[in-house]
């Protein structure tokens, strides 16, 4: 690491307020030295965001700082873990002080919200990309996994789906853009679901894709009631203004669009009341959208029982229209 890289880290990253007792040695040595409580398992995940691929090139530095941490906290939430530390590697085309200050403001605002301390990092020259590793604690043996859903378990999602996907298609909708740029990881909800959910995953690639991972891991299938997918009033109003076919797109986007960072989880029938109550207590909206079944595959049905076929082609068509 060169002298000016040390300086960058000093100026924007080392001077944070957070100072956790389990951090014996933070930024500034060859490595960090940390303590994991004896009754906890350590949970960790790593995600890289590349400009032009994971976020549009024009995304603000503050939003990138927020999102780089948020997507990792979302992975920890899906494991039921409480976040504690993060490391951060930034590759930047040039030493841009204003960009770094903005990036840091987004990163540390979210870190502070969840008591996460930055314990290491690296800054290098190159095309813009950001890698964050997040670390969390979970009581021993209590981590939520993907592979333990059972036939008969109800399938739930938190919050609403499709907002971030619609923001990518319709520019100028501020509330949707906020959802895309500043996803709020479901940190408290994930922890509340320990011992209640049978499986959990965060929705980063779209409900069908991510629920698909739960089903593949457990060797099951599912039926999804598409009319019950939660959509925000903002989402419905934006579709209306755009004059789009609400019935069609209001199903396609919540099923297929990513970037919402809600949780999708399964709960055995006997624990559904308890799980709903826990999330209600936290003020986290939750919706039952379907059921796990032994037969592989995802079957989408309308309220009248008719089969709904997710149309990937239709989604692309919509995307082309809205960019005209």
Contact positions toward its own copies, by CB under 8 A?
1-2, 24-25, 28-36, 38, 41-54, 75-76, 78-79, 81, 87-89, 91, 119-122, 124-127, 129, 131, 133-134, 136, 138, 141, 143, 145-147, 200-202, 204-205, 217
Q: Which is nearer to its own copies, 36 or 274 (CB)?
A: 36
Tell me the C-alpha distance between 278 and 298, whole Å.
28
Tell me the C-alpha distance between 2 and 299, whole Å.
55
Q: Which is nearer to its own copies, 161 or 263 (CB)?
A: 263
Q: Which is nearer to its own copies, 54 or 66 (CB)?
A: 54
Q: What is the dihedral of CA 51, 56, 58, 61, to 10 degrees?
A: -60
Residue 245 CB, shortest distance to its own copies, in Å, is 28
Residue 303 CB, shortest distance to its own copies, in Å, is 31
Residue 126 CB, shortest distance to its own copies, in Å, is 4
Q: Which is nearer to its own copies, 33 or 273 (CB)?
A: 33
121, β-bridge pairs = 88
Q: Which is nearer to its own copies, 191 or 232 (CB)?
A: 191
Residue 216 CB, shortest distance to its own copies, in Å, is 10
Residue 131 CB, shortest distance to its own copies, in Å, is 4
Signed CA dihedral, 175, 179, 185, 190: sign only: positive
124, β-bridge pairs = 91
Q: Do 140 and 130 form a contact (C-beta atoms < 8 A)? A: no
Q: Which is nearer to its own copies, 20 or 227 (CB)?
A: 20
Sequence-distant contacts of 271-276: CB under 8 A, at least 24 apart: 271/196, 272/154, 274/196, 275/156, 275/193, 275/196, 275/197
- Which of helix, strand or coil describes residue 116? coil
Tell me the C-alpha distance between 190 and 194, whole Å.
7
Residue 246 CB, shortest distance to its own copies, in Å, is 29
Residue 90 CB, shortest distance to its own copies, in Å, is 8
Q: Which is nearer to its own copies, 44 or 175 (CB)?
A: 44
- Can you give the length of the chain in residues? 324
Pick the closest to residue 180 from 191, 169, 201, 165 (CA basis): 165
- Which of helix, strand or coil describes residue 253? helix
């Amino acid at each position: 690491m060169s002298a000016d890289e040390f300086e960058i880290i000093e100026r924007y990253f080392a001077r944070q307020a957070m100072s956790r007792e389990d951090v014996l040695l933070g930024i500034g040595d060859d490595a960090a030295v940390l303590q994991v409580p004896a009754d906890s398992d350590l949970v960790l995940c790593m995600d890289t965001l590349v400009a032009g691929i994971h976020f549009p090139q024009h995304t603000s530095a503050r939003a990138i700082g927020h999102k780089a941490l948020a997507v990792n906290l979302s992975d920890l939430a899906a494991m039921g873990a409480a976040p504690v530390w993060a490391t951060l590697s930034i590759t930047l085309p040039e030493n841009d002080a204003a960009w770094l200050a903005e990036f840091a403001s987004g990163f540390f605002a979210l870190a502070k919200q969840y008591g996460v301390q930055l314990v290491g990092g690296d800054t290098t020259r190159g095309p813009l990309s950001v890698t964050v590793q997040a670390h969390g604690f979970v009581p021993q043996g209590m981590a939520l996994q993907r592979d333990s859903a059972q036939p008969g378990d109800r399938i739930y999602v938190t919050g609403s789906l499709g907002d971030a996907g619609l923001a990518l298609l319709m520019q100028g909708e501020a509330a949707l853009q906020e959802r895309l740029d500043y996803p709020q990881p479901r940190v408290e909800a994930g922890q509340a679901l320990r011992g209640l959910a049978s499986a959990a995953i965060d929705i980063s690639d779209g409900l069908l894709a991510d629920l698909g991972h739960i089903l593949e891991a457990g060797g099951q299938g599912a039926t999804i009631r598409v009319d019950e997918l939660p959509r925000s009033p903002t989402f419905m109003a934006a579709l209306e203004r755009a004059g789009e076919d609400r019935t069609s797109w209001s199903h396609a986007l919540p099923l297929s669009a990513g970037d919402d960072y809600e949780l999708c989880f399964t709960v055995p029938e006997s624990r559904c009341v308890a799980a709903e109550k826990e999330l209600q207590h936290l003020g986290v909206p939750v919706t039952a959208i379907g059921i796990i079944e032994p037969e592989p595959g995802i079957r989408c049905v309308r309220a009248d029982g008719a089969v709904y076929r997710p149309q990937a082609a239709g989604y692309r068509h919509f995307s082309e229209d809205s960019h005209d």
